[in-house]
Structure 1
Amino acid sequence: MNRKERAAETEAALKAAAQRLFATRGYLNTKITDITAEAGRAAGSFYNHFASKEELLESLLADLEEAGDESAGLPGHSPDFADPAAIRYHIAAYWGFYRRHAATIRALRQAALVNEDFARKLTAFRRAQNEELTGHADYVTKAGLRLPTTPIASVVMMSALIDNFVQMWHDGQPDLAEEDAIDALTRFVYRGFTGRDY
């Protein structure tokens, strides 16, 4: 293994260790020395890759953005939010995304509580995600249906609802099977977007 490959392996190990610790201890309670110990690396090796714990979290945020972009191109994707199947697809996709990245998502929220710069970055990330979905809401009005408010505000409400519901479900409430929860959330969001039952 050459030097570049070893460096990439160490960086990946540090990020994976951080995610494991963020999941069990939380971002605020995890120290850099905890991360290097968990990764099985020397304490000083961290600074060859990241200037701070915040910079590591920024790298994880970039990974989230990349993962989100990849999920938009998966088979079955439809932007037509007048179709309940398209809404269900997006809910199920986010459900899986949250499951895979829960530790990072929670770490970002914790960092945003104590760091204004992170709060701005997290807001910008959410804004970009919502703006990408705004065109999906336009299909509702094109179908002759009425959104509850402007397309962007409708998408922001939908995203907040889905994100909070998924987080609460992963925390053990409500007590629903995963598919039942996705179906219920789909019906709720579809009715909110279109005024129609599903």
Structure 2
Amino acid sequence: MPFANLEFDVPEGLTAEDFILRPIVAADAELDYAAVMESKDYLRTWEQSSWPEDDFTVAANREDLEKLEHRHANRQAFTYTMMNPAGTECLGCVYVMSSDSPMFAQARITAVANRRWDDYKAAVYFWVRKSRLETAMDRVLLDALRVWFGRDWNLGGHLIVTNEQFTQQVSMIQDTDLQLRFEIEEPGKPGRYLAYD
């Protein structure tokens, strides 16, 4: 069932010691662009695409963020920017997708544990800018997301999803008590996505 048809309050964000999560807006384009371009090499692996291209621009990024802002407002999918506490630097992004999203309807989803895909309402993806990986900010974010979704999202089950080729994020997730539940193969993409809970 799409998010628009589910009755739950969408959290406005999360304030932690090291960062703030809030809905992304088009006005974040320049700060988001800096984080994206710093991290472009691994984002291409994470996305399994050529995005962001070397000639990607702030204007093109603003167009992307306008779409994300629109989807958020219409409860199609939720995107949160991760900012430093002062709000002056983008540290990454969090994406919350409905498990009924068309992207999953077109994918081949294989259970690797005794779970059913329709037991989950959301798939959560995230990335942290490259310069913050050395300080394990990605693990800080993951730990905070797990608490946040358990406490503030009245949504039901959710999955943490990454790409098998993004080995740094896979290793980080596997260092937790999260368990692999599904493998997701999207048409035209060479690697699988891995979904944990």
Q: TM-score, normalised by structure 1?
A: 0.30
Q: TM-score, normalised by structure 2?
A: 0.30
Structure with max Cα Rg: 1
Larger helix share, 1 or 2: 1
